[in-house]
């Protein structure tokens, strides 16, 4: 048996009183009613504070002014078994600049999108052009309801012709009738009965008709003009009933009270059809030519009405071949003469009605449903299994080269300026130990030979000098220094201490740096010994462990530096002796054990984490335990390190990009994961943690995840936004609800460099493992080819 096709519609929906809500409802029923193998669901858009008792097919709701709802809707779609998405697009449906909130949803889903375009602008303002062009890119197919719209998409927006499908607006399938039956049913009078219906707004042009009526009524006093429809809710909210009152005043001024009737209500489809069938003539006096579709006009055509309309785009096309009469915008005389002509020439009027009705047969909802299903099936068939990754086809095949220009720009003879204004160093923010400590990690990771050490010597000595100056008498560190070179705190946080140790440990373990530099770094760590033992906060412990690990893994002991230390003791702050390797090891293991204890105290069946909340610098906690395993071979550390790292993957990897935990409230157990503000440091630390996991357990999935988390900087993120500037080497500061944070601070570039150097080093190591596996026949040729392809795209030499 063939698989049931599952279609998700996005738009407003009944019982909301608007034209697109009715259209979506009718379209859904025509699609699902045509074929039992089609299952339909709806994501409904609501105005702020609106609530509706929706039918069961509505499976998700978006409050259209909340961008988070669009992102969550994208997550919902990706996790569902929906095959295809049918979007009803009208700029005013969605919030943002030219309705661009919808792209928060479209950019994040991995399903084919069919967009029904209810509005196309011939001469768009820049924001509307951008919005339309983005919609074209995100859509597999674009459905429009007139040939005019087809030509406009091709000529104005250069849309590919093979993306465009013409499917008319649907109409109910009603018999060609005589009106008296329905007039009697609705207790309506009027010979003839002239009708205008739809939500009332200034663009309807009803005043033109009113001005035309006195002379017509003088000859046919039984004529009734019925204006059917409530005021458009947006108009009513902003202007009240101003337009309706204006029309009613005009009726009084013209003495038309007996001949003009206002029915101020939103009528359901069945009742609406009765009103249309009861009318003799339908009038569409719109004032604007830029009307690409009209549901009201379509219904009138499909039910075989005699029609008088202004020549807006849709009317010109639909009423060609004598299917109606066209009158210029605001042409009172034209309306008067057209009405009189239809009344006085009943045979010609009937011929016009029959032509309209015959043309309308192709627009019945049954036929429209067939055509949509054909488009859905064809689009799904053509939708490649790899199309989810097409969103990221701008990603480079090779990793960026290491570029230090921007880091040097932020560095003066004191340290690293913390923040920038749009990439220009903001001096009033001063400096921080946090940045300097991590910068030492980034730089030492880049040193793999003596020449590279000489190139980076000036930066490293500047940063080391800053830390030496920032260390307090107790061995802790100040964090913030003003641009006037004055420390602004008594001491920094525990994290500040940990980040300083993190950087200093990398300096001590770097064999290409001079013994003097390494001795000074060892000295500063030794002075912090008591403070390291007192640490309480888990991230401070993790940073400290990462720094101490560098010293311990290389076997560095105090004896190596004691001679230099003793000869230059007067040049450093007071300390009796350098701390031994055994003492460092004790601190290291104590912190590792405390993290394990924290994990055991907080983990649950579906929550493999150290705390009841996932906050910041998360991957560093997991990485520190993996390093502890690598040093001690205690498998408890490995178990917890991998479990928590896999948990971070589970809650942040979306299948084709990482969606980092935002810091707008953090992510608590049984709570909702905040989407913004996402910080690049999380991507940098994840990359490092995955690389460490790969190096330790040799599971290739961690190497792949490391690549993907690093590509977060290059555009593999929720907003598909490139955060790295290839020309300057700068990195933007995060992803916010309004887009990318274009400031480019020190933390961002440093974490980028840390991640890049880690990934470069270990991807190169991976090649020898794969080649060895081929020699030992541990992988087949197909697997090998996939692995080599992955590695070749990642700069493996």
CATH number of 180-361: 3.40.50.2000
Fold adopted by 5-170+369-383: Rossmann fold (3.40.50)
CA distance 395 to 712: 10
């000098």: which residue's tokens? 465
**Six-digit token string for 367:** 């036929």
Give the pTM: 0.64
CA distance 41 to 11: 11
Is residue 715 a contact partner of residue 722, using CB atoms and an 8 Å limit? Answer: yes
Q: Which of 634, 70, 81, 726 is nearest to 398 (CA)?
A: 726
CA distance 23 to 50: 20
Q: At what angle do helices 19-34 and 365-382 cross, to 10 degrees?
A: 80
**Six-digit token string for 369:** 């449903």
The long-range contacts involving 638-647, CB below 8 angstroms and separated by at least 24 positions, are: 638/696, 638/697, 640/595, 640/596, 640/599, 641/693, 642/693, 642/697, 643/599, 643/603, 643/608, 644/599, 644/608, 644/609, 644/610, 645/619, 645/689, 645/690, 645/693, 646/608, 647/607, 647/608, 647/609
CA distance 678 to 132: 28
Mean pLDDT by 10 residues, the chain (797 residues): 81 92 95 79 92 95 90 87 95 93 87 95 94 94 96 96 95 87 91 92 92 96 94 83 93 95 87 92 92 90 95 94 95 96 95 95 94 93 57 78 95 96 93 97 95 95 97 96 96 97 97 94 95 97 97 76 55 62 94 98 96 97 98 97 97 91 90 90 97 93 94 91 90 88 94 95 52 40 43 39
Is residue 750 a contact partner of residue 729, using CB atoms and an 8 Å limit? Answer: no
Is residue 643 a contact partner of residue 608, using CB atoms and an 8 Å limit? Answer: yes
Query: What does the buried/exposed string (b/e) look like for 266-294 if buried means 16 or more CB atoms within 10 Å of the residue's CB?
Result: bbeeeebbbbbbbbbbbbbbbbeeebbbb
Is residue 422 a contact partner of residue 734, using CB atoms and an 8 Å limit? Answer: no
Query: What does the buried/exposed string (b/e) look like for 21-55 if buried means 16 or more CB atoms within 10 Å of the residue's CB?
Result: bbbbbbbbebbbebeeebbbbbbbbbbeeeeeebe
Every domain of the chain with CATH number 3.40.50.2000 lies at: 5-170+369-383, 180-361
Fold adopted by 405-792: Glycosyltransferase (1.50.10)
Which neighbouring-strand residues pair with 89? 117
User: Judging by beta carbons within 10 Å of its beta carbon (0-12, 13-18, 19+), is residue 214 exposed, middle or buried?
Assistant: middle
- Give me the phi and psi of 98, to 5 degrees please: 55, 35
Every domain of the chain with CATH number 1.50.10.10 lies at: 405-792
Q: Which of 679, 581, 670 is nearest to 631 (CA)?
A: 581
């Amino acid at each position: 048996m063939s698989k049931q096709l599952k279609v998700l519609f996005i738009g407003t929906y009944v019982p909301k009183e608007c034209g697109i809500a009715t259209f979506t409802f009718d379209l859904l029923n025509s699609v699902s009613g045509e074929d039992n193998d089609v299952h339909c669901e709806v994501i409904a858009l609501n105005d702020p504070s609106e609530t509706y008792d929706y039918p069961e097919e509505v499976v998700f709701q978006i409050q259209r002014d909340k961008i988070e709802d669009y992102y969550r809707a994208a997550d919902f779609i990706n996790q569902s078994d929906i095959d295809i998405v049918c979007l009803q697009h009208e700029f005013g449906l969605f919030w943002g600049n030219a309705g661009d909130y919808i792209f928060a949803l479209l950019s994040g889903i991995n399903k084919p999108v069919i967009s029904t375009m209810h509005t196309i602008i011939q001469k768009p303002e820049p924001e509307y052009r951008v919005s339309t062009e983005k919609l074209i890119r995100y859509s597999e197919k674009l459905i429009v309801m007139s040939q005019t719209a087809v030509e406009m998409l091709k000529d104005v927006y250069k849309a590919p012709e093979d993306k465009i499908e013409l499917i008319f607006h649907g109409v109910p399938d009603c018999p060609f009738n005589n009106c008296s039956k329905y007039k009697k049913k609705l207790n309506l009078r009027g010979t003839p009965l002239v009708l205008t219906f739809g939500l009332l707004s200034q663009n309807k042009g009803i005043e033109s008709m009113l001005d035309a009526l006195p002379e017509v009524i003088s000859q046919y006093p039984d004529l009734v003009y019925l204006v059917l429809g409530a005021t458009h809710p947006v108009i009513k909210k902003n202007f009240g009933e101003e337009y309706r009152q204006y029309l009613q005043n005009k009726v009084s001024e013209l003495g038309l009270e007996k001949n003009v009737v206002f029915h101020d209500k939103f009528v359901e489809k069945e009742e609406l059809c009765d009103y249309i069938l009861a009318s003799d003539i339908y009038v569409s006096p719109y004032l604007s030519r830029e009307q690409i579709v009209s549901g009201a006009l379509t219904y009138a055509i499909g039910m075989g009405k005699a029609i008088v309309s202004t020549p807006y785009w849709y009317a010109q096309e639909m009423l060609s071949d004598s299917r109606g009469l066209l009158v210029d915008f605001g042409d009172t005389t034209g309306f008067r003469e057209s009405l009189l002509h239809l009344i006085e020439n009943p045979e010609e009027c009937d011929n016009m009605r029959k032509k309209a009705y015959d043309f309308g047969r192709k627009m019945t909802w049954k036929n429209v449903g067939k055509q949509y299903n054909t488009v859905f099936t064809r689009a799904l068939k053509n939708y490649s299994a790899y199309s989810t990754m097409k969103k990221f086809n701008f990603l480079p095949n090779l990793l960026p080269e290491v570029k230090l220009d921007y880091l040097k720009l932020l560095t003066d003879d004191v340290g690293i300026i913390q923040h920038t204004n749009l990439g220009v160093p903001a001096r009033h923010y001063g400096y921080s130990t946090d940045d300097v400590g991590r910068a030492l990690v980034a730089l030492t990771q880049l040193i793999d030979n003596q020449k590279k050490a000489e190139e980076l010597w000036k930066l490293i000595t500047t940063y080391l000098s800053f830390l030496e100056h920032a260390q307090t008498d107790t061995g802790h560190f100040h964090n913030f220094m003003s641009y006037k070179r004055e420390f602004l705190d008594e001491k920094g946080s525990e994290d500040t201490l940990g980040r300083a140790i993190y950087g200093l440990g990398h300096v001590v373990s770097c064999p290409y740096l001079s013994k003097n530099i390494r001795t000074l770094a060892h000295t500063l760590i030794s002075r912090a010994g008591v403070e390291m033992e007192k640490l309480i906060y888990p991230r401070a412990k993790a940073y400290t462990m990462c720094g101490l690990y560098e010293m311990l893994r290389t076997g560095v002991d105090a004896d190596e530096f004691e001679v230099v230390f003793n000869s230059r003791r007067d040049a450093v702050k007071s300390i009796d002796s350098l701390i031994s390797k055994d003492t460092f090891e004790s601190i290291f293991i104590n912190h590792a054990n405390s993290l394990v204890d924290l994990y055991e105290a907080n983990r649950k069946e579906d929550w493999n984490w150290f705390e009841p909340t996932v906050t910041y610098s998360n991957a560093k906690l997991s990485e520190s335990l993996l390093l502890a395993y690598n040093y001690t071979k205690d498998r408890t550390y490995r178990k917890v390190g991998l479990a928590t790292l896999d948990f971070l993957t589970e809650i942040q990897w979306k299948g084709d990009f990482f969606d980092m935990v935002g810091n707008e409230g953090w992510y608590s157990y049984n709570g909702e994961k905040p989407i913004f503000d996402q910080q690049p440091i999380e991507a940098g630390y994840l990359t490092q943690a995955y690389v460490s996991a790969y190096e330790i357990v040799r599971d290739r999935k961690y190497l792949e995840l490391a690549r993907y988390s690093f590509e977060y900087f290059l555009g593999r993120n929720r907003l598909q936004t490139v955060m790295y500037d290839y020309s300057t080497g700068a990195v933007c500061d995060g992803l916010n609800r309004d887009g990318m944070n274009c400031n480019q601070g020190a933390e961002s570039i440093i974490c980028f460099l840390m991640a890049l150097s880690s990934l470069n080093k270990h991807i190169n190591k991976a090649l020898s493992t794969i080649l060895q596996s081929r020699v030992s026949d541990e992988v087949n040729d197909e697997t090998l080819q996939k692995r080599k392809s992955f590695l070749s795209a990642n700069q493996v030499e």
